[in-house]
A and B are shown apart, each in its own frame.
Chain A
Amino acid sequence: EVQLVESGGNLVQPGGSLRLSCAASGFTYTNYAMTWVRLTPGKGLKWVSSISGSGERAFYTDSVQGRFTISRDNSRNTLYLQMNSLTADDTAVYYCAKHPHDGDSHFWYFDLWGRGTLVAVSS
């Protein structure tokens, strides 16, 4: 079955760290760029970070640049998001999503999403 399954969400204190994972199955993972998107009730969906299929190129939204690191292990078909220096503004449901290309394209829409994992930042 073609699917993405996120994990790692939790309640964490401000200033803390968390690592999210996204396990991919049912497709040739290394051939596709991947992205993390987050959803907050007040702000809607927001693009967080993307990575090319090879993992050589990564992109971040300004608000997480320097705090979050996206990576992937193509041998394990897994995407990661290391989140440091977390603040209340990072509270959200985090989704991983797949693009229909390896990153060498301008069609950066999402053709597959996971169900999300909840990150809550609070003392």
Chain B
Amino acid sequence: EVVLTQSPATLSVSPGERATLSCRASQSVASNLAWYQQKPGQAPRLLISRSSTRATGVPARFSGSGSGTEFTLTISSLQSGDFAVYYCQQYGNWPLTFGGGTKVEIK
């Protein structure tokens, strides 16, 4: 199965700063990668699909890039509601797999 490694595990950022999250795949998944945001007690929310396509209603400060084995989620200017856990997920190969998550916390 495709193993997704997210880094860092925890990212401490001040509001207004830029956050860069990484997701590395153990083998190529082409552009078949999605990103989700999850806040405590809430359902995960789709942010990005197909590596770089923002989901409906997702602010433009969220952007995704990459293909093959290296992917990045960038939050250009962190707002208070962006502090959460972020997961990547690949759907290029079965079984579907997720990264271990990156917690973005307030610095």
Minimum CB–CB distance for A25 against chain B, Å: 14
Complex Cα gap A37–B34 (Å): 15
The bracket for how many chain B residues form the interface is: 20 to 34
User: A61-76: which have CB < 8 Å to B?
Assistant: 61-62
Please give the distance in Å from A81's CB to the nearest CB on chain B. Answer: 16
**Given contacts A95-B43, A107-B49, A113-B45, A47 and B96 within 8 Å (CB-CB):** yes
B13: which A residues are within 8 A, CB to CB? Answer: none
Q: Which of B95, B96, B98, B100 has the most CB of A within 10 A?
A: B96
Known: A107-B49, A110-B46, A115-B42. A61 touches B95 (CB 8 A): yes
Summarize B's interface: helix, strand, loop or mixed: loop
Does B62 sit at the interface, judged by CB under 8 A?
no
B19-27, B67-75, B76-84, B86-94 - interface stretch = B86-94
Determine the residue in chain B with the shortest Cβ distance to A35. Answer: B96
Interface residue tally for chain A (C-beta within 8 Å): 24
B91:A108 contact, CB within 8 angstroms: yes
B57 CB, min distance to chain A CBs, angstroms? 11
Q: Majority SS of interface residues in chain A?
A: strand
Distance in angstroms from B84 CB to nearest chain A CB is 14
A59 to B45: give the CA distance in the assembly, Å.
23
Tell me if A57 counts as interface (CB < 8 A to partner B). Answer: no
**Interface 0/1 of A105-119, CB less than 8 Å to B:** 011111111111000
Given contacts A95-B43, A114-B43, contact A109 B49 (CB under 8 A): yes
List B39-65 residues whose CB lies under 8 Å from chain A: 41-46, 49-50, 55
Q: Decide if B100 touches A110 in the complex (CB within 8 Å).
A: no
Is A107 touching B43 in the complex (CB atoms < 8 A)? no
Listed A/B pairs (24) with beta-carbon separation below 8 Å: A35-B96, A44-B87, A44-B100, A45-B89, A47-B95, A47-B97, A47-B98, A59-B94, A62-B95, A107-B49, A107-B50, A108-B96, A109-B34, A109-B49, A110-B34, A110-B36, A110-B44, A110-B46, A110-B89, A111-B46, A114-B43, A115-B42, A115-B43, A116-B43
Residues of B within 8 A of A (CB): 32, 34, 36, 41-46, 49-50, 55, 87, 89, 91, 94-101
